[in-house]
Amino acid sequence: MFPGNLPQCPDFALELSWKMKNSHKNILLIQLGDIGDVVLSIPAFRTIHENFPDANIIIAVREKAQELIKNLPGTHGVISINQGKRSFFSEIKYQWTFFSQVRRYQFDLVFDFRTGTRGAILAFLSGAKERVSFFDHDSFWRNRLFTMLYRMDYHLPQHVADYYLSLPQAYGLKVQDKMPEIHVTPVMEREAADILEREKIPSDLPIIAIQPFSLWHYKEWGINKYIQLIQRILSEYPVTIVLTGSHNEYERTQLIIDQCNDFSPYVRNLAGKTSLGELAAVFKSCRLLIGSDSAGMHIAAAVGTPTVIIFGPSAPASWAPRGEGHAIVQKNMPCVPCRRKGCDDTEVSRCIEELDVNEVFTIVRSQYERKYEH
């Protein structure tokens, strides 16, 4: 199906998918977005497995996200996309080897959950006869690489997880559960316990995780305010606080700890000290996660940990974890959410900068004192 004949959810797709349900043996799911996109695609991955329980399902993601989905029930393997820089000849060799290995799976069905060119090329070169994706209004040649396209344009207030789910739904598959869930194995739990022990984190105190930074600075609340928030929390509750983040954020994270004064012994720096799989297991052991709109909130929510997320210009309706265990803090301003990269795309968000510590701590207190099944 191609432009000019693209119904929103064609009736024939339901009939077609059920007729072919038993014929699909090897299915490739492509999600080459950021970590948050991968986590929010889990309900779509699960839906495809539930509708094709006997199929061999392989998921293609960027290399950094593979640990989060390799243990998903119904997943039989992960194709890791390495985006490292290589010389011209090394790149040719890598691509030849990569696609040769992909072809060995003998895929007969592919779902691509993005509208980028890399995923489209992977879908086409996989050799699958049936290739399904979203219609891209801006790339005619990309659309020609698929055999079935759906006009499922994203629109507010649709949640991003529901948007990704709309692809298998349009194909005619039945959805049972819309919530993302990361499976934390006993091995991952032991690895997390070893990390906490190595960092001398007391086992008899509740743990609050704080992820203060984001890939996008206009989503960050600010170091000084996190210092004040940590001091408020530790002055009121007997807890240990762990700060999480990437390796590149270690020094900024340590700066927060160094300025916590007398409370510093109760704060640990885990930035860059865990893989994503280990981070998921660490979050599962925490009482609460506090942080910015970043991948951490998706991972924590997907392992069942309550969250308090500080939102600026982005839309919570699209990205915030759903369910009673999660709360957001966002400044009540007429321009919020503008969904831009800071005010007038300046990378500075007034809605974040004007958010007071008391406003955040009030929500933290409420979330911490609530009783959850966790």
CA 103/CA 93 separation, integer angstroms? 16
Report CA Rg, the chain: 22
Domain of 118: which CATH number? 3.40.50.2000
Among 121, 136, 171, the domain boundary falls at 171
CA 67/CA 280 separation, integer angstroms? 9
Q: In this structure, is residue 48 part of a structural domain? A: yes
Q: In this structure, is residue 374 part of a structural domain? A: no
Q: In this structure, is residue 344 part of a structural domain? A: yes
Q: How many CA atoms lie within 13 A of 106 on its CB side?
A: 4
Domain that holds residue 86: 11-171
pLDDT band of residue 372 (cuts 50, 70, 90) is: low
198 pLDDT above the threshold of 50: yes
| 203 and 166 share one domain | no
Whole-model pTM?
A: 0.90
Distances (CA, A) of 176 to 50, 106, 326: 8, 28, 22
| 198 and 167 share one domain | no
- Strand bridging mode 77-81 / 207-211: unpaired
Q: Bridge-partner residues for 79, per DSSP?
A: 60
| 292 and 341 share one domain | yes
In the chain, the number of structural domains is 2
pLDDT band of residue 156 (cuts 50, 70, 90) is: confident
| 105 and 190 share one domain | no
pLDDT band of residue 15 (cuts 50, 70, 90) is: low
| 115 and 207 share one domain | no
| 36 and 127 share one domain | yes
| 294 and 157 share one domain | no
| 292 and 191 share one domain | yes
Among 144, 171, 198, the domain boundary falls at 171
| 107 and 231 share one domain | no
CA 362/CA 364 separation, integer angstroms? 5
| 23 and 130 share one domain | yes
Contact (Cβ atoms closer than 8 angstroms) between residue 289 and residue 305: yes
CA 56/CA 69 separation, integer angstroms? 15
pLDDT band of residue 98 (cuts 50, 70, 90) is: confident
Among 171, 205, 225, the domain boundary falls at 171
* pLDDT value of position 327: 97
